[in-house]
């Protein structure tokens, strides 16, 4: 397995982010391209809620989720069993060296993965290798360079800057979304679709849930790393937590996260 530091980790905070994603909403851009019988690979599938959703669109075609951390698969695998979904499986593996022959799949998908690896171009080339000619390479990635947090304060600005700095420190691109078209092109695909959009959070309940997930992630995974790297103190972490709390309670507040989606067809 490739040795790379994965910034988000696998705690409850990270799981809450990922499991809130469904194929019908978060993966909707892929659905018009899916047909029954297609073989689909979800690279860096995490807890696999997107993979699970795609499975019913390509059934009876095989749908496989692959990720380096298998502890995440249990809930989606159990749900598939309960719902009688038999074309879905999960496997542990490295997306830099996929354990499949050339041209094994009709669709290769990766969401929120290319910003979590040091060499996204190698991963996309590997995804392209396992696709058959005419196959679909579907990518989705955040781009923190486009995020809007309003009203911004120096404390909130510093809190988000630390997060972006940690991603960069771990060798990962915080603004990877804008690279998707280029990555598809380099991997020998015709780019057939591109969209940038905001994942939008505002209003008391939605903003509260978003800020709570963020704070949990900082508590569980990020704060310790910032402190060990000497980038901030315990007191600054507490100050930031208070600032996020005020933000969550502000009826004027909006938090928009920028994402890109792109579809390529392999030549």
- Could you list the residues that contact ligand SAM (CB under 6 A)? 2, 6, 8, 18, 21, 44-46, 50, 67-69, 72, 94-96, 111-113, 116-117
For the bound state, the minimum distance from the C-beta of residue 16 to ligand SAM, rounded and expressed in Å, comes to: 11
The residues pairing with 104 across neighbouring beta strands, listed in sequence order, are: none
Nearer to ligand SAM (CB atom), residue 116 or residue 214: 116
Nearer to ligand SAM (CB atom), residue 2 or residue 249: 2
The residues pairing with 91 across neighbouring beta strands, listed in sequence order, are: 66
Q: For residue 50, which of 21, 74, 88, 80 has the smallest C-alpha distance?
A: 21
Task: Classify strands 63-67 and 131-142 as parallel, antiparallel or unpaired.
Answer: unpaired
For the bound state, the minimum distance from the C-beta of residue 65 to ligand SAM, rounded and expressed in Å, comes to: 8
Nearer to ligand SAM (CB atom), residue 247 or residue 264: 264
Q: Which element (helix H / strand E) includes 191?
A: strand 189-202
The residues pairing with 189 across neighbouring beta strands, listed in sequence order, are: 266
For the bound state, the minimum distance from the C-beta of residue 130 to ligand SAM, rounded and expressed in Å, comes to: 14
Nearer to ligand SAM (CB atom), residue 22 or residue 190: 22
What's the token pair of residue 30?
A: 């892929």
For the bound state, the minimum distance from the C-beta of residue 189 to ligand SAM, rounded and expressed in Å, comes to: 20
Q: For residue 41, which of 99, 108, 125 has the smallest C-alpha distance?
A: 108
Q: For residue 195, which of 57, 49, 38, 26 has the smallest C-alpha distance?
A: 26
For the bound state, the minimum distance from the C-beta of residue 7 to ligand SAM, rounded and expressed in Å, comes to: 9
Nearer to ligand SAM (CB atom), residue 29 or residue 245: 29
CA dist., res. 240 & res. 246, Å (int): 10
Angle between helices 74-82 and 49-58 in degrees, nearest 10: 30
For the bound state, the minimum distance from the C-beta of residue 91 to ligand SAM, rounded and expressed in Å, comes to: 10
Nearer to ligand SAM (CB atom), residue 13 or residue 135: 13
Q: What residue is closest to ligand SAM based on CB?
A: 46
């Amino acid at each position: 397995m490739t040795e790379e530091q994965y910034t988000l980790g696998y705690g409850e905070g990270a799981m809450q982010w990922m499991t809130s994603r469904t194929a019908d909403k978060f993966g909707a851009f892929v659905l018009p391209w899916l047909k029954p019988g297609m073989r689909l690979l979800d690279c860096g599938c995490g807890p696999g809620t997107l993979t699970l959703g795609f499975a019913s669109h390509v059934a009876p075609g095989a749908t496989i989720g692959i990720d380096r951390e298998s502890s995440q698969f249990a809930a989606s695998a159990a749900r598939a069993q309960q719902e009688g979904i038999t074309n879905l499986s999960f496997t542990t593996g490295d997306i830099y060296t996929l354990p499949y022959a050339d041209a094994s799949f009709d669709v290769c998908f990766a969401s929120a993965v290319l910003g979590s690896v040091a060499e996204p171009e190698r991963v996309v080339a590997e995804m392209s290798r396992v696709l058959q000619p005419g196959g679909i390479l579907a990518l989705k990635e955040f781009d923190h360079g486009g995020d809007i947090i309003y009203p911004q304060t120096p404390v909130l600005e510093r809190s988000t800057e630390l997060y972006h700095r940690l991603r960069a420190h771990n060798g990962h691109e915080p603004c990877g979304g804008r690279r998707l078209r280029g990555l598809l092109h380099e991997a020998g695909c015709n780019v057939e679709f591109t969209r940038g959009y905001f994942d939008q959070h505002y209003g008391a309940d939605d903003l509260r849930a978003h800020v709570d997930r963020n704070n949990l992630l900082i508590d569980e995974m990020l704060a310790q790393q910032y402190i060990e790297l000497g980038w901030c103190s315990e007191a600054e972490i507490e100050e930031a937590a208070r600032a996020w709390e005020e933000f969550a309670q502000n009826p004027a507040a909006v938090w928009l996260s920028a994402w890109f989606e792109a579809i390529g067809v392999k030549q």
